[in-house]
């Protein structure tokens, strides 16, 4: 009993600590509100702030819905469900999970916590990772957006679906061969310490929003910086070299970190680039970008992100280029 009495006191002590810090920060912010908005006055900084805020505002609903879905998986779906729903052989579970990603409309911001949740619930990491890659890249919303953005090139939709699906499945299989479970370090989720599923659910939501949201902020800041700093005229110069233009757009997709629902419109507007290089842009973007890398680092661990992101990037560039050569 004494054992149990002590820690709650500790909880309070430390809890008040960070709440106090928070209160102090907020009071300072309100006091210095005038000078603060004065700082954000130069056009460049103002544009940075606008892009930063808008990336976050755009991502928040997808993040919240993704987190809700992942909390449902974590709390309400029993592990036995996944054992029954997915083929037992991991090599078959990978394509099955990729196809599940096609059906579930989700943004990349939401799919990272969902994948983390799936791994927690005993789904083979390879299948969860295939889902992570497939869900944002080839769901119905994204494919429709692509069709709208490329009215003259319907083959672009097919090419995007084929290339993205191929990358997701291949990455899953690659993980089966080379992946190691100890690369993945899921953050300790606050044990469902309540008496009810309700409490466990909200605790999971709270933890994932704060965790994934924090990394989303990092990614949004990086994307806003690139958006403001990289002049468009550089891209113009690159567009005239066929191979360089593919690599340039692949890197741009990583740096810009545009939501997969929107990237087709951006790709369409990069009209000086070849269709193949724009396809690579569309295949890489939803699978590897700054905010995704930040979130994967946070949710699946640094050792994981450091290996997974470059491998996915290389495979996505390759698959995009090959598909482009065949289909476009």
Partner 1 sequence: MSRAAQAVILLLLGGAVLKASLTDLHLRYVKEGLRPFLLLAGAVLVLTALFTLWYDHRPRRSPSTPQPTPPPEPGPLAAPDPFAGADPFSMPDSRAVPDSRAVPDSRAVPDFRAVPDFRAVPDFRAVPDFRAVPDSRAVPDSRAVPDRLAAADHLPAPDRLSPRSPSSPSPDISDLSGMGELRHADGASDGPDDHAHHEPRVGWLLLLPVIGLLLVAPPALGSFTADQSGTLPAAAESDYGPLPEGDPVPVGLLDYASRSIYDDGRSLAGRRLELTGFLSIGPDGGPMLARIVVSCCAADGRPIKVGLRGGPVIDVPGGTWVRVTGRHSTQRAKDPVNQADIAYLEVEQWQPITPPKQQYE
Shortest Cβ 199–partner 1 spacing (Å): 5
| Interface region with partner 1, contact rule CB under 8 A, candidates 156-164, 200-208, 241-249, 306-314 | 200-208
φ, ψ for residue 129 (rounded to 5)? -70, -35
Of 22-41, binders to partner 1 (CB under 8 A) are 22, 25-26, 29-30, 33, 36-37, 40
Q: Residues 104, 70: contact at Cβ < 8 Å? A: no
Establish how many alpha carbons lie within 13 A of residue 218's alpha carbon, considering only the half-sphere containing its beta carbon.
16
Nearer to partner 1, 92 or 326 (CB): 92
Task: Determine the Cα–Cα distance for residues 97 and 134; give it in Å rounded to an integer.
Answer: 8
Nearer to partner 1, 162 or 249 (CB): 249
Of 137-156, binders to partner 1 (CB under 8 A) are 149, 151-152
Task: Determine the Cα–Cα distance for residues 148 and 144; give it in Å rounded to an integer.
Answer: 6
- Residue holding tokens 């965790």? 211
Of 245-284, binders to partner 1 (CB under 8 A) are 256-259, 261-263, 265-266, 269, 271-272
Of 76-135, binders to partner 1 (CB under 8 A) are 78-80, 83-84, 88-90, 119-126
218 binds partner 1 (CB under 8 A): yes
Interface residue with partner 1, options 52, 281, 308, 313 (CB under 8 A)? 52
Tokens representing 157 are 């939709």
Shortest Cβ 101–partner 1 spacing (Å): 20
44 binds partner 1 (CB under 8 A): yes
Shortest Cβ 209–partner 1 spacing (Å): 6
Question: How big is the chain, counted in residues?
Answer: 328
Tokens representing 207 are 């933890």
Shortest Cβ 146–partner 1 spacing (Å): 12
Nearer to partner 1, 227 or 276 (CB): 227
243 binds partner 1 (CB under 8 A): no
Burial of 134 (0-12, 13-18, 19+ CB in 10 A): buried
Shortest Cβ 3–partner 1 spacing (Å): 8
Interface residue with partner 1, options 114, 211, 276, 277 (CB under 8 A)? 211
Task: Determine the Cα–Cα distance for residues 79 and 224; give it in Å rounded to an integer.
Answer: 39
- CA dihedral sign of residues 320, 287, 178, 96: negative
- Residue holding tokens 């729903």? 85
307 binds partner 1 (CB under 8 A): no
- State the DSSP code for 273: S
């Amino acid at each position: 009993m004494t054992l149990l009495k002590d820690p709650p006191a500790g909880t309070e002590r430390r809890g008040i600590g960070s709440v106090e810090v928070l209160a102090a920060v907020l009071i300072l912010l309100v006091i210095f509100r005038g000078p603060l908005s004065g700082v954000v006055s130069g056009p460049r900084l103002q544009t940075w702030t606008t892009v930063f805020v808008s990336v976050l505002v755009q991502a928040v609903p997808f993040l919240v819905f993704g987190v809700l879905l992942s909390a449902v998986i974590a709390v309400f779906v029993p592990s036995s469900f996944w054992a029954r729903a997915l083929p037992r052989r991991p090599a078959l579970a990978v394509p099955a999970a990729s196809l599940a990603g096609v059906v579930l409309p989700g943004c990349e911001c939401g799919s990272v916590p969902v994948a983390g949740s799936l791994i927690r619930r005993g789904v083979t990491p390879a299948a969860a990772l295939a889902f992570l890659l497939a869900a944002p890249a080839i769901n119905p919303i994204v494919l429709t957006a692509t069709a709208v953005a490329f009215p003259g090139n319907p083959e672009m939709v097919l090419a995007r679906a084929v290339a993205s699906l191929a990358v997701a499945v291949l990455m899953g299989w690659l993980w089966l061969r080379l992946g190691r479970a100890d690369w993945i370090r899921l953050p300790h989720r606050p044990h469902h310490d309540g008496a009810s599923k309700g409490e466990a659910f909200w605790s999971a939501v709270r933890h994932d929003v704060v965790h994934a949201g924090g990394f989303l902020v990092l990614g949004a800041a990086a994307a806003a910086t690139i958006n403001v700093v990289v002049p468009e005229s550089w891209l113009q110069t690159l567009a005239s070299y066929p191979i360089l233009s593919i690599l340039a757009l692949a890197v741009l997709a990583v740096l810009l970190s545009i939501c997969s629902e929107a990237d087709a419109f951006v790709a369409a507007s990069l009209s000086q680039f070849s269709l193949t290089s724009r396809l690579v842009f569309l295949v890489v973007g939803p699978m590897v970008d700054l905010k995704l890398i930040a979130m994967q680092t946070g949710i699946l661990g640094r050792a994981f992100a450091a290996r997974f992101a470059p491998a996915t990037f290389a495979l996505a560039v390759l698959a995009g280029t090959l598909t482009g050569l065949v289909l476009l």
